[in-house]
Structure 1
Amino acid sequence: MAHEPPEAPSTGVPAPRLLPWSNSDGNPCYLIGDGTGPVSHIADNIESIQLGMADALLGHAADLADDPTTTAPQLRFLADRMAESLRDVTRIARSRGARLPAPAYDDDPEEEGVLR
């Protein structure tokens, strides 16, 4: 179930940050701030752990793929963990992408999509 982040006010306030956890109802949590507070630091640490776990899973997947004795239950377990990790990494990407400034594209149709 995808939830869109709330609109950032046009008053110069930073866009809300999608946090790497959900509330007790499973809904996304957002933080409004400048990124320097304690909740931002906790979120940064959790994201770092999640990205590290994703990297470790990639290595484990390569090892299992190269091992001829790997069983179907092992592959299913790995696929489940990789799906969880992909959800985490996708959430991190959405969170970070939402906080980037909008790119300035050239209006020339001959150069569609060219950043200026």
Structure 2
Amino acid sequence: MKAQKELRLLPWAGPDGQPCYLSTSDPDSHMSRLADNIEAMQLGMASQLREEAAQLLDDEATSLDPDALTLLAAQLAAALGDVLRVATSRGSRPVGPESF
């Protein structure tokens, strides 16, 4: 019996903001590796942005400029969207021994 291919939610959206999916059972395909690398980059950027936001908010000597806070909020919202997409994608993929 052939394993059914699962659709993988990719870490980017299409031109109209619609989700993009990959249909493959090969985790080592070029597109799978590209998606893995982009996910890793998005998670790393989110982690770095969170650290920068925490430092900015903890620094009492810094006057919190409203424009800087607006930019920070926009960047955090975008990073959260990326992280949620990665979590959704990874949550829908089967977990096997190779994942540990």
Band of TM-score, shorter chain? 0.7 to 0.9
Q: What number of residue pairs does the alignment pair up?
A: 91
Provide TM-score, normalisation by structure 2. 0.83
Provide TM-score, normalisation by structure 1. 0.72
Over aligned residues, Cα RMSD in angstroms?
Answer: 1.4
Tell me by how many angstroms 1:14 deviates.
3.4
Matches within 5 A, 1:44-59: 44-59=36-51
Residue 23 of structure 1 corresponds to 14
The structure 1 segments of at least 4 consecutive aligned residues displaced by more than 3 Å after TM superposition are none
Q: Percent identity?
A: 45
Normalized per residue, the structure richer in helix is 2
Contact 1:17 1:31 in 2 (8 A): yes
Any gaps of 5 or more consecutive residues in structure 2?
A: 96-100
Any gaps of 5 or more consecutive residues in structure 1?
A: 1-10, 102-116
Worse overlay, 27-36 or 48-57: 27-36
State the Cα deviation string for residues 45-78 of structure 1 (Å, max 9, x = none).
1101100010001111111101232212111111
Q: Which protein, 1 or 2, shows the higher relative CO under an 8 Å CA cutoff with sep ≥ 6? A: 2
In the alignment, does 2:81 pair up with 1:81?
no
